[in-house]
Amino acid sequence: MATIERAEVLICCPGRNFVTLRLTSSDGVTGLGDATLNGRELAVASYLRDHVAPLLIGRDPDRIEDTWQYLYKGAYWRRGPVTMTAVAAVDTALWDIKAKLAGMPLHQLLGGRSRDGVMVYPHASGQTVPELLDDVARLLDLGYQAIRAQAAVPGLTGSYGVKKNGRYEPADSARPEEQAWSSEAYLDFAPRYLEQVRQRFGFDFHLLHDVHHRLTPIQAARFGRSVEQLRLFWMEDPTPAEDQESFRLIRQHTCTPIAVGEALTSIWEVQHLITNRLIDYVRCTVVHAGGITHLRRIFDLADLYQVRSGCHGASDLSPVTQAAACQLGLAIPNFGIQEHMGYPPQTAEVFHSGVQLKDGCLDVDDSPGLGVEYDDQAAARFADFEPKYLPVARRLDGSVHDW
């Protein structure tokens, strides 16, 4: 029997911070798992290094399900983003090893292709509406079939999802930047710019929008109703998902589809939303929801209720997650869409990935496993971790709002 011989936690900052777990088996096969949790990276690094890595040494890398159960049930303290990201890293690395040993790209082990490629949506954004419209035009020219549109709300400092100096990076300052928020100003403005997108570019592509947990349920209901004629692919995170019954209220008022789940980490947190048919797309990801093993379980449950996948894919999810999500998205029957935000240019120096973009879809090459290699020499050039935090949103009266 082969055993896990090494478990390395690799931290690098090629344009942004990434934490990666690399497992090496006694027969010399390596597997990678993403362990990046934006703004809390070192908590997961310590969880893995101090509490998980010592337990992995000597275990059989073949036993993926058993290792998952051992780390989840065995810890007693279960769920939550730190734990689930750590478990995900181990799980993904073990699937990488198994698929490499089989000599197959991972999707083959997951049942083989259900589709030719996974449709993605990139972000169009602008500090002004004309800037947003130019960005939508640019992305349509590049052949994307689906586009997320966000514009800065006039009069508010900082808006989530909008580029600064040509790039959007959610966590971009050494202390959380404080931004101003007004749901009233947003509700007045957002439907109007989304309408301008449809007026200018028509309906031949999917249009998405992220509300980013900002509205109350009744405001979200009003927003959803006010954009119905624009036929959004989805409105994302209309209200914070801790209050899951509130989605019933939104549903009573609008048929705009709803996507939720990027901040939810287990099947238990989406069970109510899925089984009560309160959402249309589930946005959990490989890295924050327990890896391939657990995410597949979530998507299987979702399939029973005609809920489709819509994996989170912001730049804080590494190319290892991107490849894993792509492999899973190729295989599952109820794939919906995949977020594709891209990375700073330096990231590709460290992560050599076989994932390719064609006609608005991602696909993988025939490399066995996930199809990603970690370049240690390049990583050494980006070795210094840079503490970076997501912003904090405050209402106009100074009180803290959901970010």
Footprint of ligand GCO (CB under 6 A): 38, 170, 210, 212, 262, 312, 314, 316, 339, 390
Nearer to ligand GCO, 269 or 316 (CB): 316
Residue 280 interface partner, choices ligand GCO, Mg ion, none, CB cut-off 5-8 Å depending on type:
none
Residue 16 interface partner, choices Mg ion, ligand GCO, none, CB cut-off 5-8 Å depending on type:
none
Q: Concatenated DSSP letters for 106-138? A: HHHHTT--SSSSEEEE-EEEESSHHHHHHHHHH
**Using CA atoms, how far apart are residues 382 and 324, in angstroms rounded to an integer?**
23
**Three-state SS for 376?**
helix
Catalytic residue IDs = 160, 212
Nearer to Mg ion, 217 or 310 (CB): 310
Mention every residue, 6+ apart, whose C-beta is less than 8 A from residue 144. 120, 121, 122, 205, 360
Nearer to ligand GCO, 125 or 244 (CB): 125
Q: How many CA atoms lie within 13 A of 361 on its CB side?
A: 13
Residue 362 φ/ψ, nearest 5 degrees: -95, 150
Member of 210, 269, 280, 316 binding Mg ion (CB under 5 A): 210
Cα 315 to the chain's mean position, in Å?
8
Shortest spacing between CB 286 and ligand GCO, in angstroms:
14
Shortest spacing between CB 395 and ligand GCO, in angstroms:
19
Nearer to ligand GCO, 59 or 312 (CB): 312
Stretch that binds Mg ion, among 27-35, 66-74, 163-171, 208-216 (CB under 5 A): 208-216
Q: Judging by DSSP bridges, how do beta strands 178-181 and 400-401 pair with one another?
A: unpaired
Residue 314 interface partner, choices Mg ion, ligand GCO, none, CB cut-off 5-8 Å depending on type:
ligand GCO
Stretch that binds Mg ion, among 209-217, 270-278, 296-304, 322-330 (CB under 5 A): 209-217
Shortest spacing between CB 290 and ligand GCO, in angstroms:
17
Residue pair 368/153 in contact (Cβ under 8 Å)? The answer is no
Residues near Mg ion (CB under 5 A), total? 1
**Smallest Cα–Cα separation from 123: which of 163, 155, 77, 156?**
163
Which residue's Cβ has the minimum distance to Mg ion? 210
Residue 120 interface partner, choices Mg ion, ligand GCO, none, CB cut-off 5-8 Å depending on type:
none
**Using CA atoms, how far apart are residues 315 and 17, in angstroms rounded to an integer?**
10
Contact residues: Mg ion, CB under 5 A: 210
